[in-house]
Amino acid sequence: MVHALSLLVLAAVFVVATTTPVNMGIVAFLAAFLVGGLSGVGIEAVLGFFPGDVFVLVVGITLLFGVARVNGTIDLVVSASLRLVRGRRWAVVWLMFALAAVLMSLGSVLAVGMLAPIAMPVAERYRINPLLMGMMLSHGALSAAFSPITVYGAFTTGMVARAGLDVSPLLLFAVPFALNVAFAVVLFLVLGRDLLKREDDRVGPVEEAEPAGGGGAATLAPPVAGTAVLRAVPVTPRRVLTLTGMAALLVSGLLGADVGVTAFVVGSALLLVSPNRHQDSMKDVAWSAVLLVCGMLTYMAVLKENGTLALLGEGAAALGSPLLAALLLCLAVAVLSAFGSSIGTLGIALPLALPLLELGGIGAAGFVVALGFCSTVVDVSPFSTNGIIVLAQARVDDKQRFQRRMLAYGGLVVLVAPVLAWSVAVLPTS
């Protein structure tokens, strides 16, 4: 009875979070206290399940990137990159893919939000298919979602390490990267071949201008009224220091240091160096993501404690084929994540995968990688944060028609991604 109630409450958490503006983490904490009490798991035990390491991780990384945004470091990276493209339309599309990947790999979960206000007007001005541009931005960011210093990468690595699994961070990064590049190549071949045929139609020269106020955080101005304007962003000691700190975080993550603690140290140091310049960086801390992830992980710990996860493992065994169960879980993750939170879905999927792995017959590394890819690649959906931003910034005459096109593409990804991930990552390692 308790197990059935636990699963019904888990389903209710998803329904409430996807149909109302209530944060999933709030509902998950409430579920943890209620189900924990009914399962004989005391309040003190539930509070002990709070993932303090995940709290430090999400706050540290988003704080550091908030500092980088406020002091203009992100603008510096973007403007320097855009100047490398002297006009080829096909190159603009791939540059936006690369920029989104770079920003995400450095820790910005808001990479699409930062680039869409620039990329979508450029698509309109230079007759680039807006669906192509929007999806290339999304796939670019998602290709680097499992960099060692992103929330997704560090979160997944930490969870599998606590479970005693050996999953290479390089493999976790490389497979989703390669699969997102594959999606991007197919997209470009279907929607962007005309860009290769008109190489004489180039983006106009970039105008240089000092940022308003001189020395403050510069902003990137998207093309307006038929011109492509990008304000020059000067190199300052503060921005160099920030880039150095971000590089140090990347290196420390590759060396196995705690990413959350390192990000906290680097972000705090930058704040203390220029406290008045960086006071707005706290606005970028992803408190809603902190609440969501910590709430879901706390509830999943309750389900592990009361035996619900073990029961699910027995149910998977009843299917008679661990590989079939793995495919079904990948498909379920893709569907749920397309309408909900990717990291929240991942926080549920990984604990559910553990009983399945204990049955044998499935490679742990490949299965974890497949679940990670399936939970993030569907963020091209118009119901995801990335999709909503692309839809809002698209310069199209009919937003509803554009949304239907995004929905069709998102539905295709939901169906194809699990089979692709299962074939590429699960089968060869099982």
The residue that leads in pLDDT, 223 or 407, is 407
Give residue 97's pLDDT band: very low, low, confident or very high (50, 70, 90).
very high
Q: Which run of H or of E encompasses 251? A: helix 237-254
Whole-number pLDDT of residue 64: 86
The terminus-to-terminus CA distance of the chain in angstroms comes to 34
Asked whether the predicted pLDDT for residue 410 surpasses 60, the reply is yes
**Burial label, 147 (beta-carbon count in 10 A; 0-12, 13-18, 19+):** buried
Asked whether the predicted pLDDT for residue 371 surpasses 50, the reply is yes
**Burial label, 124 (beta-carbon count in 10 A; 0-12, 13-18, 19+):** middle
The residue that leads in pLDDT, 425 or 162, is 425
Strand partners, 202: 88
On average, the pLDDT of the chain sits at 83
Give residue 375's pLDDT band: very low, low, confident or very high (50, 70, 90).
very high
Per-residue model confidence as pLDDT tens digits over 208-259: 333 333 334 333 333 333 334 456 778 899 899 998 988 888 788 777 788 8
Per-residue model confidence as pLDDT tens digits over 76-95: 877 777 777 766 788 889 99
Tokens of 22: 């209530």
Q: Alpha-carbon Rg of the chain, whole angstroms?
A: 22
Asked whether the predicted pLDDT for residue 107 surpasses 70, the reply is yes
Tokens of 401: 């028609």
DSSP annotation of 274: S
Whole-number pLDDT of residue 142: 96
Stretch 386-400: mean pLDDT, rounded?
A: 86
Share of the chain above pLDDT 90, in %: 28
Break the chain down into helix, strand, coil percent, rounded to 5. Answer: 75, 0, 25
Q: Alpha helices, DSSP H only, in 145-286?
A: 151-162, 169-191, 193-197, 237-254, 259-273
